[in-house]
Amino acid sequence: MICAGIDAGSRTLKVALIAPPSTKIVGSAVRDQGVDQQALAVEVLEALLSERGLTRSDVAAIGATGYGRRLIRGAGITVTEVTCQAWGVRACVPGARTILDIGGQDSKLVRLKADGSVADFVMNDRCAAGTGRFLEVLAMRLGVPLAGLGALSGQSARPAAISSVCVVFAETEIVGLLASGASPGDIVAGVQASIASRVAAMATGNLPEPICFTGGGALVPGMRGALEAVIGLPVTVAPDPQLTCALGAAILASRRQEPAGQRNAP
């Protein structure tokens, strides 16, 4: 039996497949979002299944999450990203007590109880300064791919100070910094520190350890280090950090299939 989790995020759509009772990801895909989320979800899911010689009839359950979760027809359950992140992280980073998630257009902080359940959460989806969008803007401005930012930040000798709290104005600052001769590496490191500060601010000093880092932002080299430098605590990047939310949705969908008595309740 296969269960699928679809995370219809603001920037990308992610699909994760699991073969319960295992919670290990057996197939996954990430695509840039389009206009028709339902069509994209079907396309990505069917391509994934096809690669494995499977069809829709092999899929016992689908869970949908992310901002577009309600648009995914055929999902047996729809659950928010907060709950799905908790389930996904619990499966791949057991014992984590805090999730820092930097997505394409939002960021989240989820505090977990000892049993992995959600204690509380804070979300930022109103300001791009603490999200992956800032990194995208930076990459565009510097003319490098997103994946190349990490290498640049590694060359930084003295991270530039980004004083603006708004991406639009920060972009102007970046232009100014470039004009004044600041190195791209210092600018990247400065932007990463700025994002890390915004994310850390959501915690208001309350960051139970261990801390797990998820979302597309965790794929950008240098971001983990920037977070650690700001919060002064070790941060672990989740395996497949962009997929933890989809994984959680798949796990929750699979639980829906189990008789209540057999559920692995924490």
Partner 1 sequence: MSQVIARITLDEWDRRYEQLHAGGLREPSYGGPLGRHAVAGDRRLTKLTFDRSTAALRLWNFLLTEDERLAGARGLGVKLLGTMKDLGTVPVMAASFDDVVAFYPDGAWWIPCLMENEARLLEIADRLGVDESFCPVRAMLGAFVNQRHFPVPDLLTCSVGATCDDVSAIAQRLAGMGHRIAWWEMPHRRRPEPGEETVLLSGGFTAPARQVEFVRTELHRILLVLEEWTGQRLADERLLAGIVRANRVRAVLGELRRIVYGTDPCPMPALEMLVAEMLAIHFCSDEAESLRVLEELLVEVRSRVESGVGVLPAGAVKVFWVNPVADLRVMNLLEDVGGRVCGTDYMFCHALDPIPEDLPPLDALARMALADPMVGPATDRAERIVRDASRSGAQAVVLSQVPGASHCGLEGLVIGEVVRARLGIPFVEIEVGPITDSIEAGLRTRLEALIETVEAGGRP
Give residues in contact with partner 1 (CB under 8 A).
67-68, 79-83, 86-87, 90, 106, 112-113, 115-123, 125-126, 204, 265-266
Looking at the Cβ atoms of 52 and 70, the one nearer to partner 1 is 70
Instruction: Return the structure tokens found at 68.
Output: 């577009």
Dihedral sign of CA atoms 41, 3, 218, 87 in order: positive
Closest approach of partner 1 to the CB of residue 10, in Å: 9
| Angstrom distance (rounded) from CA 110 to CA 118 | 7
| β-pair partners for 7 | 14, 65
User: In angstroms, what is the minimal distance from the CB of 118 to partner 1?
Assistant: 4
Nearer Cβ to partner 1 (121/213): 121
Q: Quote the CA–CA distance of 122 and 120 in Å, as a whole number.
A: 7
Query: Would you give the distance in Å from CA 259 to the centre of its chain?
Result: 31
Instruction: Identify whether the C-beta of residue 172 lies closer than 8 Å to the C-beta of residue 204.
Output: no
Residue with smaller CB distance to partner 1, 157 or 265: 265
Query: Residue 265 CB, nearest distance to partner 1 (Å)?
Result: 6
- Shortest distance (Å) from residue 103 CB to partner 1: 12
Residue 91 or 152: which CB sits closer to partner 1?
91
